[in-house]
Amino acid sequence: MARVTIVEVLDARGAVRSRTRLDAFPATIGRAYSADVILDDPYVCPRHARVVLTESGDLVAEDAGSVNGVSEHGAPVQRGAQPARVASVLLRPGAEIRVGRTVLRFCDPDQPVAPALPDTASDVVGDGAIRIMPARHPITALPPRAALLVCVATLGVFALNAFLGSYTRVTEAKVVSEALLILAGLAIWASGWAVASRIVSHRSSFIHHLALACSAAVVALALGLASQWLSFFFPASAVHDVLPVLGGLALATAALAGHLALASPMPHRRRWRAALAVTGTVVALIALAAYADRDESTTAMSYPSSLKPLGPRWLQTMPVAEFTRRASDLRAQVDSLAAEEQ
C-alpha cells in the first residue's frame, strides 16, 4: 500500500491553518507555487525542504540547502539562540518540524478527529452566499421570546427603582416614562451593534444585543445600589468607592466581549483582550480628565449623603459623651490652626 502522510501548517498558537495530503515522494516544501506544500513565509526558500521515503519505509524530512534550515520543533533551545539546524528529521506520526518561521506537523491519515458540531442555524443567506457565523456565546442560546422577556423585565426593574428612589409624589406615567427613556438609550446602543453584526455575519441579532445591554444595565444598577448601601453602613470605608470602579470595569469589559461574540467570529481570547483594551483606554481617559480638572483649593466639604429608610437599631451610633468629646477635640484643633494663622 502506498505511504500517505498529512502535513498540517500550524500558527503561532498551535492551531491548524491548513492541511495537505502527500502520497507521492519525494515531495517538496517551500514558497514556490510548484511545491507540494506551499508556505506563505518570507523566511522559507522556494525549495526549502523535501520529504523522502527511505528503503525501510520511513518518511524523512531533508533540508534542501535552504537559507534558514530545518529544525525539530520542541527541541530544547537556549534563551536568545536559534533552533539547531538539522540535515534530516525522521517523521513519525505527530512529529513537528520548523522551516523558516513556520511549524509543520505530520499526521497519520487514520488519526481520529473530533466529532462535528451541530449546526443550529443555516449558514447560507438568500443569495447563496456563505454567512460568517459569529462566535458562540451564552446569550445566543436564548430564544427570541426569552431575550424579549429580559428586556421587559429590565423595564420593570428601572421603573421600580424610579418609584422607590423618589421621595415626592409620582405618577405611573412619570415612572414608566423614565424607564422607557433608559430602555430607548439601550436600544440605540444595541442598534449600532446590530448594524455591525449585519455587516459581518449577515444577521442583526438585535434582540440578543438588546438583551445583553439590558442585563449589563441591571447589573450596573445593582452595583450602584450596593455602593450606596455600603457608604451608608460604612461611611469611613473606601469599599463603596472602589466597588463601582472595579465592578464597572469588569462589567463593561464583559459586555463589550459579549457584543463582539454576537457580532463577529473573533476568537474567545482575542475578543476579551480587545474589550479590555477598549475599556482600559476609556477609563484612562476619564481618569486623566478628572485629574486635569481637579481643584485642590476648593472649600467644599466631601461627605456621604446617602439616606436609607432603616430603623435606629441598624444604624451606627455613639454615646452622647463620646460625641461631645470628639466635638471638643475637633474644636481644639480648629482653634489651634486659627492661632497659628494669626
Q: For residues 190 and 13, what is the distance between their CA atoms, to the nearest angstrom?
A: 33
Residue 136 CA from chain centroid, whole number: 13
Torsions phi, psi of 108, nearest 5?
A: -75, 140
pTM listed for this prediction:
0.53
* Predicted pLDDT at 122: 47
* Predicted pLDDT at 296: 61
Under 8 Å CB-to-CB from 193, ≥6 apart: which residues?
209, 259, 262, 263
The crossing angle, in degrees rounded to 10, of helices 239-263 and 172-201 is 50
Complete DSSP assignment for 245-305 = HHHHHHHHHHHHHHHHHHH----HHHHHHHHHHHHHHHHHHHHHHHHHT--TT--------
* Predicted pLDDT at 105: 93
Helices (H), the chain: 144-164, 172-201, 206-233, 239-263, 268-292, 320-341
Radius of gyration (C-alpha) of the chain in whole angstroms: 32
* Predicted pLDDT at 146: 86
- Amino acid identity for residue 252 in this structure: A
Q: For residues 158 and 107, what is the distance between their CA atoms, to the nearest angstrom?
A: 58
What number of H helices and E strands is found in the chain?
6, 10
Beta bridge partners of 27: 51
pLDDT per residue rounded down to tens, the chain (342 residues) = 578 999 999 987 788 889 999 989 999 999 999 999 999 999 999 999 999 999 888 899 999 999 999 998 876 555 555 677 899 999 998 899 999 989 999 999 888 888 886 665 444 444 455 454 454 555 656 778 888 899 999 999 998 888 887 777 778 888 888 889 999 999 999 999 889 888 877 777 888 889 999 999 999 999 888 888 777 777 767 777 777 788 888 999 989 988 888 888 777 788 888 889 988 898 888 878 877 776 666 655 555 555 666 666 666 667 788 888 888 888 888 888 888 876
Q: For residues 99 and 97, what is the distance between their CA atoms, to the nearest angstrom?
A: 7
Q: Is 209 exposed, middle or buried (0-12, 13-18, 19+ CB in 10 A)?
A: buried
Q: For residues 331 and 342, what is the distance between their CA atoms, to the nearest angstrom?
A: 17
